[in-house]
Amino acid sequence: MAVEGGMKCVKFLLFIFNFLFWICGIALIVIGILVQMTLHKTLLITNASASGAPIVIIAVGVVIFFIAFFGCCGAWKESYCMITTFAVLLTLIFLVEIAAAIAGYIFKDKVKDVFSRELEDFMKTYNQSADFKKAVDTIQTDFHCCGSHNYTDWFIYGPNMTVPDSCCKTPTLNCGKNVTSSNINQPGCVVTFDTWIQKNLLIVVGVALGIAFFQLLGIVFACVLMKAIRSGYEVM
């Protein structure tokens, strides 16, 4: 039985929604991977509580990717069972995202604490491990910072009041021996990293709100189409 009138419109709206939702799933996967790569470079990947967020984002993106594909098939074939399953799964994902957002807000300060603690530990063993040295240098170069709280932190761990070359505004060999305000990045990496998080948090929140809006639309469209299919489209 073909969908008539308004239900035909709802069917195609649900199909278009799922296509957009499918794209949102891909976007979440990409965002999760980028965040994971950034955390890996900033040492947080060694802490499960700090690296859990991007893993959850990637997992949700993968689930959304497949749910959207499932919803497209259900809308196109006008399958009551598939659309019902799609609506239930989408609702569950929506609730999980709300719970994840609340948890992320509650534990947002923990990321800063973990970063500060691990950075200081890595600074202590900076000259003892090539991996630790590379990680710290990557952080200081990417975020244009020096030390944990400020560049003087290196005076505790480094010889003769010097800093690593990655602290320099223009890193060159042995530039860290010339510790001047014009040559060395003054801000500490903890504050710089926290500022970076706050800046990008708005982007993440915006993307999350956009996806949540599409999810609510999808649930509404699915419920309307379910009702129409179950009644044989006579309601329209």
pLDDT surpassing 70 at residue 236: no
Looking only at Cα atoms, what is the longest distance across the chain?
Answer: 85
Exposed, middle or buried by CB within 10 Å (0-12, 13-18, 19+), for 81? Answer: exposed
The pLDDT, as a whole number, for residue 168 is: 93
88 compared with 43, residue with greater pLDDT:
88
What does the pLDDT read at residue 117?
Answer: 83
In the beta sheet, which residues pair with residue 168?
A: 184
Quote the pLDDT of residue 114: 77
Work out the mean pLDDT of the chain and round it to a whole number: 77
Model pLDDT, residue 108: 67
pLDDT at 224: 80
Q: Which of 6-20, 115-129, 148-162, 192-206 has the lowest mean pLDDT?
A: 6-20
Q: At what angle do helices 189-230 and 108-124 cross, to 10 degrees?
A: 140
Q: Stretch 143-160: mean pLDDT, rounded?
A: 85
Write the Ramachandran bin of 136: left for phi over 0, alpha for psi from -120 to 50, otherwise beta.
Answer: alpha
In sequence order, which residues have a C-beta less than 8 Å from that of residue 174 and are 6 or more positions away?
A: 165
Residue 154 has pLDDT above 60, yes or no: yes
Tens of pLDDT, residue by residue over 168-191, are 998 888 898 888 888 999 899 988
- Least confident range of 93-97, 102-106, 188-192, 225-229: 102-106
pLDDT score of 45: 47
Which DSSP state fits 150? B
Give yes or no for residue 3 having a pLDDT over 50.
no
Count of helices and strands (H, E) across the chain: 7, 0
Give the residue-averaged pLDDT of 136-144: 89
Q: Which residue has the higher pLDDT, 52 or 207?
A: 207
CA dihedral (163, 164, 169, 171) in degrees, to 10, reads 140
Distance CA 26, CA 68 (A): 11
